[in-house]
Chain A
Amino acid sequence: MSLRSPLGQVLGRGAAKEGVHHWWVQRLTAVALVPLAIWFVVSLLSLPTLSYPVVSAWMGQAWTAVLLILFVLSAAWHSQLGVRVVVEDYVHGRGMRTVALALVTYLHVLAAAAGVFAVIKVALGGAA
Chain B
Amino acid sequence: MAERPTSPHLSVYRMHRYTLLTSVLNRATGLVLALGLIVLVYWLMAVAGGPLSYAHASALLGRGIFKILWLALLAVFSYHLCAGLRHLVWDSGRGLERAQSRASAYLVLIGSAVLFAALAAWLLAGRHA
Contacts and interface: CB of A to CB of B under 8 A. Distances in A.
Interface of A: 15, 27, 30-31, 33-34, 37-38, 41, 44-45, 47-50, 52, 55-56, 59, 68, 72, 75-76, 79, 82-83, 86, 88-90, 92, 111, 114-115, 117-119, 121-122, 125, 128
A86 B31 contact: yes
Interface of B: 6-8, 27, 30-31, 33-34, 37-38, 40-41, 44-45, 47-48, 50-51, 54-55, 58, 74, 77, 81, 84-85, 87-88, 91, 119, 122-123, 126-128
Contacts of A83: 30-31, 34
A49 B45 contact: no
Given A52-B54, A52-B55, A115-B44, A89 B38 contact: no
Contacts, number: 94
Contacts of B27: 82, 86
B44 A89 contact: no
A122 B43 CA distance: 12
B45 A114 contact: yes
B73 to A, nearest CB: 9
20 contacts: A15-B7, A33-B84, A34-B84, A37-B77, A38-B81, A45-B119, A47-B128, A52-B58, A56-B47, A59-B44, A68-B44, A72-B44, A76-B37, A83-B30, A89-B8, A92-B6, A114-B44, A114-B45, A117-B45, A118-B48
B51 A128 contact: yes
Given A82-B34, A86-B31, A115 B41 contact: yes
Contacts of A117: 45, 48
A118 B47 contact: yes
Given A52-B51, A83-B31, A86-B27, A30 B88 contact: yes
Nearest to B50: A128
A27 B44 contact: no
Could you tell me the dominant secondary structure of chain A's interface residues? helix
A72 B37 CA distance: 8
Could you tell me the dominant secondary structure of chain B's interface residues? helix
A125 B123 CA distance: 30
Contacts of A115: 40-41, 44-45
Given A41-B119, A72-B40, A76-B37, A122 B84 contact: no
A89 to B, nearest CB: 5
A50 B55 CA distance: 11
